[in-house]
Copies of this chain bind each other. A is one copy, B any other.
Amino acid sequence: MPALRTEFCGLTLEHPIVNGSGTFDAIAARRAFGDALLEDFPFAAYVSKTVTLEPRQGNAPPRLWELPAGLINSIGLPNRGLEGYLEHDLPRLAELPVPLIVNVMGFTREEVATLVEAFTAREEVAAIELNVSCPNVKTGLLMGAEPAEVSGLLDLVRPLTRKPLIVKLTPNATNPAAVAQAAQDAGADAVSLINTLRGMALRPGSSEPWLGGRTGGVSGAGVRGVALALLDSVAQRVSVPIIAMGGVQSGADAAALLGAGARLVAVGTESFRDPMAGRRVAGELEERAEKGQLSAILTPASRKIPA
């Protein structure tokens, strides 16, 4: 899709559509769909599910609650941990036909540093996304909600890597734009947004929480308006490229986020409804581009591609 080719932190991507971390397990999808997946991969880069230092089982089920035009998940970041990821997941993900972005989370800054160092050493990894939607167990503060937490984290990890560092912002904060600014000032190469909104559901007819994790994160079509507002506020504060997401279902939704200042757009929950949603959204964007409907918002300059 030459009309959609986009530069992102030194990577040249075929189109601006990637997946949201944790919403598309390419290894599992290959088990379900076979190698056809590799021949027609839906995303221009692949973002892997959050990796933590130690393995995690994730939260007790139930883990899902359907909302009007949305979903609450309390998955709880199950993953094999750093070692398991390096041994089991990384070789398989390296077979994908697109660049790999690894998403990491730590419960202390030092844990994040360990993860960043480990992935810096791996050439299969094109970029690292920092999931800061968790409390720093040392300060008790939500890492992604406080500018100072993010600065402190980047002061530690920025010197450890020359790979692009992307900070993923949480919407559960008073001032995400200030957090984005802090990330940029402390050397982040990009920011991504939005992670899920805090949400909860009760077991019908009771006052007991439905989700094993008590609360969870809201995503899907219903959060689209919230995502756009946060993108708008962040785009006014930072100059680094932005990966925007939240409720994208169509080329029209992606075009709106690109128009509001995103460099890339991630598709999350919509992949659950349509496993090839990423490809479809990219195709719908391409149609718009061909009709000239994107020219005002998606210029070669905005994609950092020589025309």
- State whether the Cβ of A2 lies closer than 8 Å to any Cβ in chain B: no
What 0/1 pattern do residues 89 to 118 of A give for CB contact below 8 A with B? 000000000000000000000000000000
A259 touches B207 (CB 8 A): yes
A222→B67 contact, CB < 8 A: yes
Number of copies: 2
Please determine whether A69 and B222 come into contact, CB atoms closer than 8 angstroms. yes
Question: Chain B residues with Cβ under 8 A from A172's Cβ?
Answer: 174
Tell me the smallest distance from the CB of A283 to a CB of chain B, in Å.
18
Within 8 A of B (CB), among A224-277: 224-226, 228-230, 232, 247, 252, 255-256, 259-260
Chain A contact residues: helix, strand, loop or mixed: mixed
22 interchain pairs (CB within 8 A)? A67-B221, A67-B222, A67-B224, A68-B68, A69-B69, A69-B70, A72-B225, A145-B174, A146-B174, A172-B174, A174-B174, A197-B197, A197-B225, A197-B226, A198-B226, A198-B230, A199-B226, A199-B228, A202-B228, A206-B259, A214-B232, A222-B223
Known: A207-B259, A207-B296. A70 touches B222 (CB 8 A): yes
Residue from the set A67, A145, A202, A207 with the largest chain B CB neighbour count within 10 Å? A207
A173 at the interface (CB under 8 A from B): yes
Task: Map CB proximity to B onto A195-206 as digits: 1 under 8 Å, 0 otherwise.
Answer: 001111110111
A162, chain B: closest CB distance, angstroms? 32
Q: Which residues of B contact A201 (CB under 8 A)?
A: 225, 228, 256
- A77 in the interface (beta carbon within 8 A): no
Q: Return A72 CB to nearest CB of chain B, in Å.
A: 5
Q: How large is the interface on A (under 10, 10 to 19, 20 to 34, 35 or more residues)?
A: 35 or more
Which of A199, A209, A222, A260 has most chain B Cβ within 10 Å? A222
- Determine if A125 is an interface residue (Cβ-Cβ < 8 Å): no
Q: How far is the CB of A21 from chain B (nearest CB, A)?
A: 20
Closest CB pairs A-B (n = 3): A207-B259, A222-B222, A199-B225
A68, A247, A255 pick with most chain B CB within 10 angstroms: A68
Does A215 count as interface, using CB distance less than 8 angstroms?
yes
